[in-house]
Chains A and B, each alone.
Chain A
Amino acid sequence: MLREFICIMCPQGCALQAEEENGKVLEVSGNTCPRGKEYAIQEITAPMRNIATSVKVENGELPLASVRLTGPIPKSKIFRAMDEIRKIYVKAPVKTGDIVIENLLGTGESVIITKTIHKI
């Protein structure tokens, strides 16, 4: 079966075609770099995404600090990941790179702060 989708690895957004049989990828075309091929295979076998959101901050110059994951997690775990991150409350100051959850839902990826928030 021919599957078609847009690569999200970079803003170029290549239109990928992948020939798939029983969950196995036989051939990928339309990609302009090796990451496109990797993405196509991953998208068919086990789609992964990164997410960005915020955590609440106590005593900060802003009420929120933005966070992201250190790497993509299975797409099916996105909403559960959001639930976990929503429970977090940090105390200012926090700085870019601080880890707020390690090994999120057993994915091996961590939740890290992406914005330095000073104490008020």
Chain B
Amino acid sequence: MRSVKEVSVAIIGGGPAGLAAAVRLYDKGIKDIVILEREKMPGGILRQCIHDGFGLTRFKETLSGPEYAQRFIDMAEERKIPYITDTTVLEITPDRKIYAASKNGILEIQAKAVILAMGCRERTRGAISIPGERPSGVYTAGVAQSYINLYNKMVGKEVVILGSGDIGMIMARRLTLEGAHVQAVFEIQPYSSGLPRNVEQCLRDYNIPLYLSHTVTDILGKERLEGVVVSRVDEHMQPIPGTEKTYTCDTLILSVGLIPENELSIGAGVTLDGRSKGAVVDENYQTDIEGIFAAGNVLHVHDLVDFVSREAESLADAVAAYIENGELRKCSLEVETDTNITHTIPQKISGEKSFLLSMRVRQPMKNCEIVISQGGQIIKKKNFKKALPAEMIQIPIDAEKLNSSENLEVSAIC
């Protein structure tokens, strides 16, 4: 018979969210924890993000992804927090039993609390339904990044990039430095979906043009990619007939969005939010399944790892309280938004605890005001010279200003 290992907290994923949560839990006195990591090494996606710009908020210096990850790996190792690598979690049950496949066979773990920290995955060609042939040479940006930065495999020479997500732009620069010719980046939206600084330092610096309101409408080539057809799109993002232009290339990189990786969460019965694609959580980062918590990119896609670490630490504070008290305050108030806001984290609050409200705007806005109110009473207002979908907005909300009987309303007013 298999033995069931019992722990206070099991953390699913050893990336930035999982590591930060583990270190904080340990420092709060919750030491009976385990991190389960699918890859051979901890660090998550940061291992392949070799460019700099990480840690400006957290460490007040600019680090590469692997260096940022190493700081947290070192902290986990100093505390001797156990992590099991090369281990894929297969199932999490609503009563927090975990089944995982490892080199030594199936692991069975019963946890008092489970932290979901699986990160996110990339949208693929299938997700955006590009028609055409199916030759080799079509990669998501993250896959191309892992080939080049982890495995020393160059992906191609003549490159077209679809989507102006940050990873796509960073790969445009990376491919250029490695000797490839990046012809252009095409973005279906009328604005860049990545950060302005990446348009500047990854595209402009290398004279790579960014075409807005354009998309790939056909893929050519039988064995290897031979070219793509690009069309302009109208205001409803529909291709305009007659605007087709063929670009000869051997490589197409897709940077068309990230989706929180929630297969395991669904299996555990966790309710997802169709807007964020992550779990519905309360101010404690607890999902609607008691004892199951979520933070980082599995909850909502972040633009900066510094904020992932901070979110995971707030989650760890709540998990520590849950382990100590056996329960947390019920959160029955909803966080409601107007149509200018895509989603918020958290989606539920008690009205009795201070929390950090995260959100994104639906489209670029200038000189707007984010207004947070309860029953018509304004709790907080914040002005923004510019608000972009690419930049997450975070506003701390003070418990003293809240009541515990009315829903919270969030709106963006121009």
Contacts and interface: CB of A to CB of B under 8 A. Distances in A.
Real binding pair: yes
B414 interface: no
26 contacts: A6-B196, A6-B197, A6-B199, A10-B56, A10-B197, A11-B53, A11-B56, A11-B197, A13-B195, A13-B197, A53-B177, A54-B152, A56-B152, A63-B151, A64-B149, A66-B66, A68-B64, A82-B177, A82-B178, A96-B66, A96-B67, A96-B70, A114-B50, A114-B64, A115-B64, A116-B70
A44 interface: no
Contacts, number: 79
Nearest to B152: A63
A75 interface: yes
B158 to A, nearest CB: 18
B51 A49 contact: no
A114 B67 contact: yes
Contacts of B67: 96, 114-115
A94 B151 CA distance: 17
A68 B63 CA distance: 9
B152 A75 contact: no
B205 A49 contact: yes
A115 B66 contact: yes
A68 B54 CA distance: 13
Interface of B: 40, 47, 50-53, 56, 62-64, 66-67, 70, 149-152, 174, 177-178, 195-197, 199-201, 205, 303-304, 386, 391
B184 to A, nearest CB: 19
Interface residues of A, number: 30
The CB with the most chain B CB atoms within 10 A, among A49, A52, A56, A78, is that of A52
A6 B67 CA distance: 26
5 closest A-B pairs by beta carbon, nearest first, are A66-B50, A13-B196, A115-B66, A114-B64, A13-B197
Contact of B51 (A15, A52, A63, A64): A52
A51 B149 CA distance: 14
A52 B48 CA distance: 11
Contacts of A116: 70
A10 B195 CA distance: 10
Given A13-B195, A96-B67, A8 B50 contact: no
A114 B16 CA distance: 16
B42 to A, nearest CB: 12
Given A6-B196, A6-B199, A115-B66, 14 more contacts: A11-B195, A11-B391, A13-B195, A49-B205, A50-B52, A52-B64, A53-B50, A66-B64, A68-B52, A96-B66, A114-B67, A115-B47, A115-B67, A116-B70
Given A52-B52, A66-B64, A5 B304 contact: no
A49 B205 CA distance: 9
A114 B50 CA distance: 8
A88 interface: no
A79 to B, nearest CB: 8
B32 to A, nearest CB: 28
Contact of B149 (A6, A49, A66): A66
B177 A8 contact: no
Contacts of B40: 61
Contacts of B62: 50
A54 B148 CA distance: 9
Contacts of B47: 115
A63 B149 CA distance: 9
Nearest to B69: A115
Nearest to A65: B66
A78 to B, nearest CB: 7
A79 B63 CA distance: 21
A5 B152 CA distance: 34
Nearest to A79: B177
A68 B50 contact: yes
The CB with the most chain B CB atoms within 10 A, among A15, A66, A75, is that of A66
Interface in A79-120: 79, 82, 96, 114-116
A114 B61 CA distance: 14
A46 interface: no
B70 A115 contact: yes
A77 to B, nearest CB: 13
Contacts of B201: 8, 49
Contacts of B151: 62-64
A56 B150 CA distance: 10
Contacts of B150: 62, 64
The CB with the most chain A CB atoms within 10 A, among B47, B70, B196, B304, is that of B196
